[in-house]
Structure 1
Amino acid sequence: MIFVAVAALVAALVSVLWALRRRYLVVTVRGYSMRPSYLPGDRVLVRRVVAAKVRRGQAVVFEAPGRTGEAAVAQAAPPPPGSFVVDVGLLIKRAVATGGDRVDFPVPGAGPVVPAGHLAVRGDNADESFDSRDFGYVPPERVVGVVIRRLGAP
């Protein structure tokens, strides 16, 4: 009888954790492009959302665009399966414009109006940021979610 109750409790706990993992993730900040908001080593809690839910001013997490040559980023080993912390190949930037908005900076290979569903992003520390000024608008399929809070350094 007790075994059945414990098994049911464990199953419920696993179900809740699985649901949380599908909805949230923790990302570790690397680099200074989001200084002073986030510093290297800070961990942030990210709520998974589709691009259409991102609003101007939010810190957005998205899959990094591919780069080659001198601008290539060394790929770290992927996190272990089931890990709650996922930050390999992700960028954190501020959403400065959404579909239909105009941007006040040149975007490579694109006009000054953000295409529907896309985002224009910039680092808070623009002088040290790799952002839409370098790689263009972020397509909706690359958006992972928005930062909902800083958790601090590990």
Structure 2
Amino acid sequence: MVLAIDHKTTSSQDQKNKGDLAAEAELFEYLHRAFGGHPERRVLWKTFAKGTSSARAKARGYMTMAMLYPNELASVKLSQWDVLGMEWNARPEAWSALKAAKRPTITHIITNPGQAKQALAAGATGLMVSSPSKVHP
């Protein structure tokens, strides 16, 4: 089992707020203790394209995941993240870019079996689901 963490206050932008950065550092320390000094084996640090927290997570050995949108693909280096996320209904060109990056891909946010089927057919290797019982095949 992997725990995906999205530290909302530092995941969406280049954060300058010292309080938010301190809270992020406290969370890293908590995870370190909670997972016996090896959270990198069980935690996936989730961020957005403009977020900088993934660099701090990487420095601590975490795997990272970016939740992306099609209009961001041309301006980011996909290899900086271990796992890539994309909207379930993204156009084929977006899925082609993700496939070329050779990373696992998670599609977001699935709310029904039809969306899951479409995303998996497009190339997603995993699903981010709001209500799993409504999506499970």
TM, length-normalised to structure 2: 0.24
More helix by share: 2
Higher radius of gyration, 1 or 2: 1
More strand by share: 1
Give the number of the structure with larger relative contact order, counting CA–CA contacts within 8 Å between residues 6 or more apart: 1
